[in-house]
Amino acid sequence: MKYKSTRGGCSDQSFEQVLLTGLAPDGGLYVPAELPQLSEQEIASWKDLNYSDLALKIIAPFIGDEIPEDALREIIESSYAEFDHPEVAPLSILAEGEYMLELYHGPTLAFKDFALQVLGRLLDYVLVKNDQRVVILGATSGDTGSAALEGCRHSERVDIFILHPHQRVSEVQRRQMTTVSGDNVFNLAVEGNFDDCQRIVKAAFADQSFLPEQSQLVAVNSINWARIMMQIVYYFSAALKLGAPQQAVSFSVPTGNFGDIYAGYLAKRMGLPIKQLVVATNSNDILYRFISGNEYSVTELNHTYSPSMDILVSSNFERYLFDLFDGDAEALTSFMEKLGSESLSVSEQKWQQLKTCFVSARVDDETTCETIAQVYADTGKLVDPHTAVGIRAARDCNADKATPMITLSTAHPAKFSEAIKAAGLAAPDLPPHLQDLFEKEEHYTVVPNRLDAVTAFVKSHSHN
Ligand SMILES: *Cc1c(COP(=O)(O)O)cnc(C)c1O
């Protein structure tokens, strides 16, 4: 499989090249040059596969012959063996026609484990084969950091540096990162906010001359194609359980960087019968305003009870816009360059096209807490604030009660006890494997909010 950039300014790349990088050199994101198309019969024949076997079927075409099937199978099976539920992504029922896909059974309790467990092993495989080392550099507002550390720490050929905003992540989230030990694992607490961390990471990727020769930076956030690819699988898994391909289903997805829901959009384009995709946002609502009113403009950042969705501009939305613009990289580039300085819109025809696929609802903090309390009262299930945003948005958007609606439950409630308490409920216990989280020793370094401070640290601590 070949990959191309949404900005059209570089040659096609292999899966391996795309895996070992971040943004494309022209500033775009990589997308597959063509999407596998699946027939109804083929999808139907996957009904009885376990999660790992299904994952292998779905991702193999995206990798082609670059990794032999046996090696890929081993990578997938060992990744999902780390999950604490035999179904890996179990589906639970909230009410008639209303379901929740539990994506929090991985080692760090958020859906990011689905991709990052595999990403770490894919990197290891490719780096051993090439006798190469790389430096992973990422910024996190909480969940990506721990999932990346957990997924990549075993690799002897990576040094991993994760930046988080000092004193601005929850204690559980911080400890999940800082208690991971290993001499290739580094947590940097930047004296700034998440945007500062992200800016530093972006600048470091743009100029990698501080690294030793032969080394390069690899991204672990969802600009990395491998993350999107692994997330396509659970859309198929959930839909098959509810009778697809004969039965159509809809999904509601708590959305931040648009990675998770973009994977659902790809599943639909590959042939899975998905009726609606609900883009569920918190009060950081740029996508809600665009989908419901054709207005794409940046506002101020709000800090909410669902911090993993506190994002101003969703980076993966560019991948969808590339399709909406019929692959016209030039039109997309000029659209993206204007963002930030003006309020943008698309033609009426394109906007209608977008609305045949996506609907959106915005859920504020108060309604999030109300939903947590209501779901608990009705079902006895405790849901995390991101999931609550998804459930509420599904209820607000779903006029069509005949199609099952599946909300992606993106994190375990124990990760976000502040919102649970604000909903008037008792904070849940951490699962058994994290019960000693508060006793373990933490390792992190506080660094000033400056690019040169970070690059100097990376340079002096990487094992090249
Ligand atoms: C990362 C995250 C999201 C947002 O996912 P995107 O792919 O960025 O849209 C939602 N909920 C939780 C719990 C997350 O960790």
Question: Tens digits of per-residue pLDDT, 146-168?
Answer: 999 999 988 889 999 999 999 88
Helix %, strand %, coil % of the chain (to 5): 45, 15, 40
Cis amide linkage into residue 32, ω under 30° from 0: no
Give the mutation target among 310, 386, 389, 408 for probing the ligand 1 site: most ligand atoms within 8 A of CB.
Answer: 386
Residue count of the chain: 464
Asked if residue 426 has pLDDT above 90, the reply is yes
Asked if residue 411 has pLDDT above 90, the reply is yes
Buried b (16+ CB within 10 A) or exposed e, 152-170: beebebbbbbbbbbbebbe
- Per-residue DSSP letter, 219: -
Are 420 and 386 spatial neighbours (Cβ–Cβ below 8 Å)?
no
Are 233 and 122 spatial neighbours (Cβ–Cβ below 8 Å)?
no
Residue numbers annotated as active site: 112
Q: Is the CB of 110 under 6 A from ligand 1?
A: yes
Q: Which amino acid is at 457?
A: F
Q: Is the CB of 308 under 6 A from ligand 1?
A: yes
d(CA 312, CA 94): 31
Are 238 and 91 spatial neighbours (Cβ–Cβ below 8 Å)?
yes
Q: Which amino acid is at 423?
A: A
Q: For 55, left (φ over 0), alpha (ψ -120 to 50), or beta?
A: alpha
The Å distance, Cα 32 to ligand 1 centre, comes to 22
Asked if residue 81 has pLDDT above 90, the reply is yes
Tens digit of pLDDT for each residue in 194-241? 878 988 998 999 899 999 888 899 999 999 999 999 999 999 999 999
Average pLDDT over residues 432-443: 93
The Å distance, Cα 257 to ligand 1 centre, comes to 7
Q: Is the CB of 222 under 6 A from ligand 1?
A: yes
User: What phi and psi values does residue 75 have, to the nearest 5 degrees?
Assistant: -60, -45
* Residue with token string 């613009």: 325
Average pLDDT over residues 321-341: 94
Average pLDDT over residues 107-136: 96
Nearest atom within ligand 1 for CA of residue 411: 13
Q: What is the reported pLDDT for 463?
A: 84
Identify the weakest region by mean pLDDT among 56-65, 152-161, 346-355, 363-372: 152-161
Number of Cβ within 10 Å of residue 37's Cβ equals: 10
Are 196 and 449 spatial neighbours (Cβ–Cβ below 8 Å)?
yes
Counting residues of the chain whose pLDDT is more than 90, the rounded percentage is 86
Residue 131: partners with Cβ closer than 8 Å, 6 or more residues away: none
Nearest atom within ligand 1 for CA of residue 386: 11
d(CA 437, CA 458): 27
Asked if residue 464 has pLDDT above 80, the reply is no
Is the alpha carbon torsion for 353, 357, 358, 359 positive or negative? positive
CA 279, 281, 283: angle at the middle one, nearest 5? 155
Asked if residue 339 has pLDDT above 80, the reply is yes
Q: Please report the domains of the chain, with CATH numbers, ordered by start residue.
A: 86-106+225-422 (3.40.50.1100)
Q: What is the reported pLDDT for 341?
A: 86
Nearest atom within ligand 1 for CA of residue 143: 15
User: What phi and psi values does residue 94 have, to the nearest 5 degrees?
Assistant: -100, -40
Tens digit of pLDDT for each residue in 267-288? 999 999 999 999 999 999 999 9
Q: Which helix (H) or strand (E) holds 187?
A: strand 185-190
User: What phi and psi values does residue 255 have, to the nearest 5 degrees?
Assistant: -120, 135
Asked if residue 399 has pLDDT above 80, the reply is no
Counting residues of the chain whose pLDDT is more than 70, the rounded percentage is 100
Residue 59: partners with Cβ closer than 8 Å, 6 or more residues away: 72, 76, 229, 230, 232, 233
Q: What is the reported pLDDT for 214?
A: 84
Residue scoring higher pLDDT (305 or 340): 305
- pLDDT confidence tier of residue 413, bands split at 50, 70 and 90: very high
Give the mutation target among 308, 317, 318 for probing the ligand 1 site: most ligand atoms within 8 A of CB.
Answer: 308
Identify the weakest region by mean pLDDT among 53-62, 107-116, 194-203: 194-203
Q: What is the reported pLDDT for 141?
A: 80
Are 104 and 390 spatial neighbours (Cβ–Cβ below 8 Å)?
no
CA 296, 260, 316: angle at the middle one, nearest 5? 40
What is each CA distance from 332 to 107, 120, 316, 349, in whole angstroms? Answer: 38, 32, 13, 16
Task: Please list the alpha-helical segments (H only) found in 109-169.
Answer: 112-130, 143-152
